[in-house]
Amino acid sequence: MLSIIPLSLAALVLVAYFGGKNRAVAVVAGRRSTLHSRPLYHGTYVAVWVGIPALLLSLVWLFLQGPVIDILLVRSLPSDLRDGLDGSQLQLLLSEIRSLAKGSVFGNPTAEVIAAAERYKAWQVLAGWALVVSSLAISIAALVITRNHIAKRFYARHRVEQVLDWLMIACSTLAILTTLGIVVSLSIESLRFFDLVSPGEFLFGLNWEPQIPIRKGQVTAGGAFGAIPVYLGTLLIALIAMLVAIPVGLLSAIYLAEYSSKRARAILKPLLEILAGIPTVVYGFFAVLVVAPALRNFGQIVGMDIAPNSALAAGGVMGIMLIPFISSFSDDAISAVPRSLREGAYGLGATKGETIVDILLPAALPGIMGGVLLAVSRAIGETMIVVMAAGIIASLTLNPLEPVTTVTVQIVTLLIGDSEFDNPKTLAAFALGLVLFLATLALNVLALRFTRKYREQYD
């Protein structure tokens, strides 16, 4: 039934477009050049007014329909059925009614529930038809009204361009809305989490055991939410990643920017970028398949006990992923140092190596730092490598041979397969997400500062 709406709307829009176009031609009796706007704009003007309001109405309606019908349904339930029910029991009753309305019967529903299901079904049908009728009514009304606007001196093009402007502004604000959505949703869930667990414990506690009893009487740990071990693990893995990525990335950038021939650069640079294009889940599998067993075997030979999900394996593979990141940022920064500095150094008799180490690197340092900070932000936000290759249990250690866990691993493990946002376990994921978002945001802003300062210096 609801598929009528897009189809009929599309038909109406087409009718409006061609109707408007023809009408415009007819108004001036075929002398198109006397029209202010070309007939196309008149057609578009009508079509826009026919299409957009009805579309908006349908979207808003569809979002509101469910909650409104739920409220009505609860109101209509006999009071003895809904009295004394708390929120979750009421939800359970509602979902029973809904599934009954869909035709799947579990157990023996009471007469009241069956009646409610019947009402629910009827209201849904009613709401659907009401939507169809009202959206079509709006479209047709718009068609009639705007068609009458068409005249010789009607500025249809200006009107259409205005609408276009508003559409473009709306699209641009989507970026703001997304950021807002992230901040607001993470904050709300985190506040709910901090109702249950004190922020002090979360930020500074040393014990992270989020497994709380889900059923009554289930034996689990009490549920501790001190996230320091998780932060520490994240930092440890990021540090290992940086120890791999910075030397390799920076040195290869130096070679590519200063030493290599043009042809070698044209081949090597895209090859390096391949590393950046490989999805992170592939790196994660690589860590599990190749790197972790190799490290373990190496450890056995030299007599060290390396855990299969050690921080070293996850961090090392993450470092490989970040090599092209560091190298392309450093390459850009080194190449952007003005020729005059380079030639001044050569003129004083410096070797190429001395020019690079003493002149270019200090000059490019802010740009390189910006790249490194962005890479750190990537490293702490990277998910799949650590989910596959790092540990789940939070332990307070800085030993790279032992398993540690990270913020992103915890977010994923806390949320997979769990959809109810009412216990501290799932809410903790949002609090961790907020911390992660703020940390990466700070790093990104800082990195942007560095690069901008660098640009001001030389542009």
Partner 1 sequence: MTDISSEISHNWASSNARSRISRRYRRDRWLRNTGVGAIVVAMGLLGILLTSLAFTGYVAFTTTKVKLEVFLDPAKVDRNEPGKASYRNLVREAFLANFPELKKRKNKREAIKILSSGAQYILRDKVMDEPELVGQTISVLLPLSDPFDQLYKGVVPRRINALARNRIASFESLKQRGLISVENGSSYLSLAIVVGPAILKNPKRGPLKKIMRRAFAELFSGETGRVNYKILSRDAVKILQARIRKDVNFAGDKLQVKLPISPIYDALNRTGKAEKLNPRFKSEKVLDLFDALVTRGMIASPFSWELFVNSDSRFPELAGLAGAFSGSLLALLVCFLISFPVGISAAVYLEEFAPKNKFSDFIEVNINNLAAVPSVVFGLLGLAVFIGFLGMPRSVPLVGGLVLALMTLPTIIVSTRAALKSVPPSIREAALGVGASKHEVVLHHVLPLAMPGILTGTIIGLAQALGETAPLLLIGMNAFIPSIENVGLLDPATALPTQIFTWGDSPERGFVSRTSAAILVLIGFLVTMNLLAIYLRQKFETKW
CB of 105 to partner 1, least distance (A): 21
| Identity of the residue, 88 or 110, whose beta carbon is nearer to partner 1 in the bound complex | 88
> What count of other Cβ atoms lies within 10 Å of the Cβ of residue 289?
12
- Residue 251 touches partner 1, criterion: CB under 8 A: yes
For residues 227 and 384, which CB has a smaller minimum distance to partner 1 in the complex?
384
Binding-site size for partner 1 (CB under 8 A) equals 91
Report DSSP state, residue 32: G
Near partner 1 by CB under 8 A, which window of 1-9, 24-32, 203-211, 428-436? 428-436
Contact 404, 237 (CB under 8 A): yes
Closer residue to partner 1 (CB): 66 or 344: 66
The yes or no reply on residue 249 touching partner 1 (CB under 8 A) is yes
Task: From 375, 364, 341, select the one nearest 451 (Cα to Cα).
Answer: 364
Q: For residue 339, what are its two tokens?
A: 């020729």
Stretch that binds partner 1, among 109-117, 207-215, 227-235, 436-444 (CB under 8 A): 436-444
Question: Which residues inside 186-225 make contact with partner 1, applying CB under 8 A?
Answer: 186, 188-189
Binding status of residue 455 toward partner 1 by CB under 8 A? no
Rank residues 189 and 402 by Cβ distance to partner 1 and give the closer one.
189
419 belongs to the binding site for partner 1 (CB under 8 A): yes
Contact assessment for residue 388 and residue 313, using Cβ atoms and an 8 Å cutoff? no
Q: Is residue 6 within the footprint of partner 1 (CB under 8 A)?
A: no
- Residue 37 DSSP one-character state: S
Residue 173 binds to partner 1 (criterion: CB under 8 A): yes
Q: Is 448 in the site for partner 1 (CB under 8 A)?
A: yes
Residue identified by tokens 């740990």 is: 221
In this complex, which beta carbon is closest to partner 1, that of residue 195 or of residue 200? 195
In the region spanning residues 349 to 378, those forming contacts with partner 1, defined by CB under 8 A, are: 351-354, 356-357, 374, 377-378
343 binds partner 1 (CB under 8 A): no
What is the number of H-type helices and E-type strands within the chain?
18, 2
Which residues partner with 209 through β-bridges?
A: 224
Contact with partner 1 (CB under 8 A) among 261, 274, 340, 347: 274
Residue 88 exposure: Cα atoms within 13 Å on the Cβ side: 4
List the beta bridge partners of residue 225: 208
Within 150-266, strands assigned E span 208-209, 224-225
Should residue 277 be labelled a site residue for partner 1 when binding is judged by CB under 8 A? yes
Q: Does 289 bind partner 1 (CB under 8 A)?
A: yes
Question: In this structure, how many other beta carbons lie within 10 angstroms of the beta carbon of residue 248?
Answer: 17
Taking CB under 8 A as the binding criterion, the range among 75-83, 85-93, 265-273, 328-336 that sits at the site for partner 1 is 265-273
18: number of Cβ within 10 Å: 14
Using the rule CB under 8 A, which residue among 345, 364, 384, 390 binds partner 1?
Answer: 384
> Which stretch, 7-15, 61-69, 140-148, 211-219, contacts partner 1 (CB under 8 A)?
61-69
Question: Nearest CA to 403 among 237, 267, 285, 239?
Answer: 237
CB of 163 to partner 1, least distance (A): 10
Only one of the segments 211-219, 225-233, 278-286, 332-340 lies at the binding site for partner 1 (rule: CB under 8 A); that segment is 278-286
Contact indicator for 407, 432 with CB cutoff of 8 Å? yes
Quick one: which segment of 13-21, 139-147, 193-201, 437-445 binds partner 1 (CB under 8 A)? 437-445
Distance CA 316, CA 324 (A): 14
User: Is the Cβ of residue 54 or residue 320 nearer to partner 1 in the bound state?
Assistant: 320
Q: With contacts defined by CB under 8 A, name the span among 73-81, 84-92, 232-240, 322-330 that binds partner 1.
A: 322-330
The values of phi and psi at residue 84, to 5°, are: 75, 10
Contacts (CB under 8 A) with partner 1, residues 83-142: none
Which residue's CB is nearer to partner 1, number 87 or number 277?
A: 277
Burial 396-418 (b: 16+ CB within 10 A, else e): eeeebbbbbbbbbbbbbbbbeee
Nearer to partner 1, 131 or 384 (CB): 384
Cα distance from N-terminal residue to C-terminal residue, the chain: 61
CA distances from 137 to 51, 250, 446 (A): 12, 65, 54
- Residue carrying structure tokens 């035709």: 103
Least distance in Å: CB of 327 to partner 1? 8
247 belongs to the binding site for partner 1 (CB under 8 A): yes
Q: Which stretch binds partner 1 (CB under 8 A): 112-120, 139-147, 216-224, 253-261?
A: 253-261
Name the residue among 85, 47, 72, 161 with its Cα closest to residue 122.
Answer: 72
Q: Is 355 exposed, middle or buried (0-12, 13-18, 19+ CB in 10 A)?
A: buried
Query: Of 207 and 444, which has the nearer Cβ to partner 1?
Result: 444
Residue 223 vs 381, nearer CB to partner 1: 381
